[in-house]
């Protein structure tokens, strides 16, 4: 395996970590209008991700920085071609983060509901747009000889990219509902599990349709194997949730999302961005990678810092491993 191939794989792993971890954050945010019957319920939901949501976003920074350093041509084309979707994702993440910090600053009911709405919007927008962006990357884009995107924002809207956006939206929503049932107790836990079952049916249909469409239009042998594994993991997660096995359901939802990302990157390999107008303009791993010295230096840095990030994240999840209940919210108020 060459260093550019290794970094293609590592970037896939970083995005996988981000979608698995921040995916359930988005799902919890989207669940507020459906599970939060009163302010205490909504505080329970927010507190399930309170200690970890910003830590989970570390992975998108790691993935973006790695993409910039390892594949500058790929980074430049993606971030300029998807300028508006990326801007909306950034604004939504800021909106969500600000809402978490300001929601509890005043006891006013209207104040809290406004920030709850902002958390919902700030979760829905990135959950949809990440799938929209990656579907377009897999589908390919019109590029000139300098790898610059020569289409318009409107050209990005097609049936495949919209289906990709809906697939990640439903995957993250179900992932978040299963996380809520794993992290709470009492009535809200029961409601989350029931809603996860209903959402799971829609997720199987939408995500299944997107994976089949990806396979038919852009698939190869490896992506076929990964797609089959993804479908099996999603069905196991659905059945486990149906039987009240929340830990198993959450683990297999995480596997489902990880395999979905793996399928998309496997479909791309050995390219990084296919030119739909002229195959000669296609960006490959080889022609978009940084110099050997840069990749070698990045490899040594990653060897030191990635285990540290993983250890700190594991420690945080262990410390905040207990379930959050309405009793905890009432106790914290005194």
CA distance 309 to 311: 5
* CB-based contact 272:8 (threshold 8 Å): yes
190 token code pair: 């029961």
What does pLDDT average to over the chain? 91
CA distance 43 to 268: 41
Convert the pLDDT of each residue in 3-34 to its tens digit.
Answer: 999 999 999 999 999 999 999 999 999 999 99
In the chain, the number of structural domains is: 1
SS (H, E, C) 230-265: HHHHHHHHHHHHHCCCHHHHHHHHHHHHHHHHHHHH
User: Model-level pTM greater than 0.85?
Assistant: yes
Tell me the percentage of the chain whose pLDDT exceeds 90: 64
- Residue 45's domain comprises 3-332
Convert the pLDDT of each residue in 94-133 to its tens digit.
Answer: 999 999 889 888 888 889 999 999 999 999 999 999 999 9
Q: φ and ψ at 271, to 5 degrees?
A: -95, 165
């Amino acid at each position: 395996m060459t260093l550019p191939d290794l970094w293609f794989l590592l970037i896939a792993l970083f995005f996988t970590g981000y979608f698995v971890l921040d995916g359930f954050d988005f799902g919890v945010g989207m669940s507020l209008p459906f599970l939060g019957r009163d302010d205490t319920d909504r505080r329970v939901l927010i507190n399930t991700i309170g200690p970890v949501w910003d830590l989970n976003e570390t992975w998108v920074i790691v993935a973006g920085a790695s993409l910039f350093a390892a594949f500058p041509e790929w980074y430049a084309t993606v971030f300029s071609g998807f300028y508006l979707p990326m801007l909306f994702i950034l604004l939504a993440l800021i909106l969500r983060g600000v809402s978490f910090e300001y929601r509890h600053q005043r006891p006013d009911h209207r104040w809290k509901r406004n920030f709850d709405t902002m958390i919902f919007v700030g979760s829905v927008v990135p959950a949809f747009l990440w799938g929209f962006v990656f579907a377009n990357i897999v589908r390919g884009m019109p590029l000139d000889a300098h790898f610059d995107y020569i289409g318009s924002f409107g050209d990005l809207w097609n049936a495949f990219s919209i289906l990709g956006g809906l697939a990640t939206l439903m995957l993250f929503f179900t992932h978040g509902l299963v996380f809520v049932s794993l992290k709470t107790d009492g009535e809200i836990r029961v409601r989350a599990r029931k809603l996860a079952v209903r959402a799971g049916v829609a997720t199987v249909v939408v995500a299944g349709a997107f994976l089949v469409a990806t396979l038919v239009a852009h698939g190869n042998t490896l992506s076929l194997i990964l797609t089959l594994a993804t479908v099996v993991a999603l069905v196991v997660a659905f059945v486990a949730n149906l039987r009240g096995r929340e830990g198993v359901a959450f683990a297999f939802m995480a596997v489902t999302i990880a395999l979905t990302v793996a399928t998309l990157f496997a479909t791309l390999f050995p390219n990084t961005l296919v030119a739909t107008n002229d195959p000669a303009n296609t960006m490959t791993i080889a022609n978009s990678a940084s110099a050997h010295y840069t990749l070698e230096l990045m490899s040594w840095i990653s060897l030191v810092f990635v285990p540290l990030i993983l250890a700190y994240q594991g420690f945080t999840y262990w410390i905040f491993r207990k379930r959050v209940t309405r009793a905890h919210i009432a106790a914290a108020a005194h």
